[in-house]
Amino acid sequence: MNPDASTIAAGAPIEVDLSPIAEGQDIKVFWRGKPIYISHRTKKQIDEARAVNVASLPDPQSDEARVKSGHEQWLVVIGICTHLGCIPIAHEGSYDGFFCPCHGSVYDTSGRIRQGPAPSNLPVPPYQFVSDTKIQIG
């Protein structure tokens, strides 16, 4: 039995099938009323995220700490700008990550803040892989 809409809105976990998401593509789903971006990263995007000197970042965090080991191609983040809460646009901005048009915050392919007024990285929601092609968020 699937939870009804009110249960989902209150915070029930959701399952997302990743198999239709092509490499280089993102989707947006909603969990607890929040937009969640799921990005199927290319090797280039992963390499870029990992080539950064972590200590130089405004909110230092390694890419490895933001994704699941063995599933590095998948980035899952809460799509709410950490400045004042706008929804950033995927695949925009100079780091090919996310761009928030409200005041110009730029996030990289790991969802880490790189430029602009946002103080911290896009948060990673609690999630786990239930199979190679499916995650459960929450």
Our CB check for ligand FES shows the closer of 3 and 58 to be 58
Binding mask 61-100 for ligand FES (x = CB under 6 A): --------------------x-xxxx-------------x
Residue among 39, 45, 105, 109 that touches ligand FES (CB under 6 A): 105
Is 103 among the residues known to form the active site? Answer: yes
Question: Which residue, chain included where needed, has tokens 């995007």?
Answer: 45
Q: Which of 40, 83, 91, 103 is catalytic?
A: 103
If one asks whether residue 114 binds ligand FES (CB under 6 A), the answer comes out as no
Provide the H-helix boundaries in 32-125.
Answer: 43-50
**Which residues, including other chains, have CB under 8 Å from residue 1's CB and lie 6 or more apart?**
none
Contact indicator for 40, 73 with CB cutoff of 8 Å: yes
Q: Which residue is associated with the tokens 């090919």?
A: 96
Provide the minimum distance between the beta carbon of 125 and ligand FES in the complex, in angstroms, as a whole number: 18
Cβ-count burial of 118 within 10 angstroms (0-12 exposed, 13-18 middle, 19+ buried)?
Answer: buried
**Binding residues for ligand FES (CB under 6 A):** 81, 83-86, 100, 102-105, 116-118
